[in-house]
């Protein structure tokens, strides 16, 4: 079965627009992916046909909106192979999901307990643990990387002590593209009695994720990076852990009974879903999953890998271009610099040529410091990108490299 990129592109209205008079080449997918008509249509349907607060009303619209939201919960459960819908918690994004784990599971930690992170983590998987550290005397340890951008697994194993309580690492680096050996790392963490948490923001969009096979105790991801709406995220948590954890926020929906003499909590997953959820965009997330699975995650991954290999080979031939992250197993992104040119200058010039890339530290300043740089330019690919777009990018990058040399 042929991979029909042009048919896919027709489902994404924004790809038809021009930037500075040139066809848009959108290579900033690691920051946020674009949204197909099928998802947009569902958002419109919800606002025009089913907008009513969920779980709160006996009337028809409320019941329909509730059914739409809960259908997404079941859709997500199947998509990541969670054991039950009670293990699927809706949040505002991967950032909130990770904050929930650090804040709530973190309350179960004691002074002297240890947390293992990696040098390649996004700030959203560093700062919440530092906030916990400001409240409790816990210790954070950091896994280093090798010259190719892979985690040093010998160093990882050497960080464990009898006080290690949780490991929290990214599935894939949003800077280096490195796909980490999550299953192997989780197995070792479990053998040492630690819980394993995964920032899956760069994992779910690019490969099939089975949380049970990976051995993840927690897995966080965002809708907007997987062709869905903004403002919606998911936290998968193993049920026995979620049941031990105190609520993350208080308010409506997450309660069993409220009185001034004491309050009880709702059952999972609602214990962690205080207030009115973004039920419109949650409902639309299932359409994004439908869209991904209609094409096939394996086929998407193969297409993105072809783009990655092709672009990498072409970029390596451009004088002055240096690529950061050369691990054999990478997701579809490339971070680079041109000689001593500032990443911002490169990004601005590419933008004027119709090429949208990301510049900066990518919310990974500790990693940048370890690499001895301030930031990079990042080109990241998605299911709708084409080899022709890569050629346009390479032509533009070649011009920019000559201008900045």
Asked if 363 is an active-site residue, the reply is yes
Q: How far is CA 282 from CA 67, 143, 230, 248, 277, in A?
A: 11, 35, 10, 20, 8
- Of 150, 122, 118, which is closest to residue 324 (Cα–Cα)? 150
Euclidean distance between the first and the last CA atom of the chain, given in angstroms as a whole number: 44
In DSSP notation, 290-327 reads HHHHHH-HHHHHHHHHHHHHHHHHHHHTSTTEEEE---
The vertex-290 CA angle with 48 and 83, nearest 5°, equals 110
Of the candidates 170, 230, 331, 363, the residue annotated as catalytic is 363
Q: In what order do the strands lie in the sheet with 139-143?
A: 88-91, 233-237, 218-222, 195-199, 164-170, 114-118, 139-143
What distance in Å separates the CA atoms of residue 205 and residue 303, rounded to the nearest whole number? 13
8 Å CB contact between 291 and 226: no
Radius of gyration of the chain (CA): 22
**What's the token pair of residue 44?**
């419109």
What distance in Å separates the CA atoms of residue 97 and residue 338, rounded to the nearest whole number? 36
What distance in Å separates the CA atoms of residue 325 and residue 176, rounded to the nearest whole number? 4
Active site residues: 363
């Amino acid at each position: 079965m042929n991979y029909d990129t042009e048919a896919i592109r027709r489902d994404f209205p924004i790809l038809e627009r021009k930037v500075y008079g040139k066809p848009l080449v959108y290579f900033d997918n690691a920051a946020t992916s674009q949204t197909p008509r099928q998802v947009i249509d569902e958002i419109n349907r919800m606002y025009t046909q089913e907008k009513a607060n969920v779980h709160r009303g006996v009337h028809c619209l409320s019941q329909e909106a509730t059914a739409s939201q809960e259908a997404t919960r079941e859709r997500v459960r199947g998509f990541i192979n969670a054991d039950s819908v009670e293990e699927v918690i809706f949040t505002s994004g991967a950032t909130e999901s990770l904050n929930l784990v650090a804040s709530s599971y973190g309350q179960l930690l004691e002074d002297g307990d240890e947390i293992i992170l990696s040098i390649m983590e996004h700030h959203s998987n560093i700062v919440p643990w530092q906030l916990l550290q400001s409240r409790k005397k816990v210790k954070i340890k950091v896994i280093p990387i090798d010259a190719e951008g892979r985690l040093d697994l010998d160093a990882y194993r050497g960080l464990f002590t009898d006080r290690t309580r949780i490991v929290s690492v990214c599935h894939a680096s949003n800077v280096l593209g490195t796909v980490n050996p999550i299953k192997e790392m989780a197995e070792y963490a479990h053998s040492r009695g630690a819980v394993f948490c995964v920032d899956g923001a760069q994992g779910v969009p690019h490969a099939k994720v089975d949380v049970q096979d990976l051995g993840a105790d927690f897995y966080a991801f965002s809708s907007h990076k997987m062709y869905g709406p903004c403002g919606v995220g998911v936290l998968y948590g193993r049920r026995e852990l979620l049941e031990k954890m105190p609520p993350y926020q208080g308010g409506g929906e997450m309660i069993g009974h409220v009185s001034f003499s004491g309050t009880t909590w709702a059952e999972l997953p609602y214990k962690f879903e205080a207030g009115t959820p973004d039920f419109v965009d949650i409902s639309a997330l299932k359409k994004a999953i439908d869209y991904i699975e209609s094409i096939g995650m394996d086929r998407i991954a193969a297409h993105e890998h072809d783009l990655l290999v092709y672009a990498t080979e072409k970029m390596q031939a451009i004088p002055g271009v240096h690529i950061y992250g050369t691990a054999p197993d990478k997701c579809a992104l490339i971070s680079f610099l041109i000689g001593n040119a500032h990443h911002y200058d490169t990004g601005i010039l590419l933008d004027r040529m119709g090429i949208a890339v990301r510049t900066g530290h990518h919310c990974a300043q500790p990693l940048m410091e370890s690499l001895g740089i301030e930031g990079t330019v990042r080109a990241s690919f998605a299911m709708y990108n084409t080899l022709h777009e890569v050629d346009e990018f390479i032509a533009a990058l070649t011009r920019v490299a000559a201008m900045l040399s």
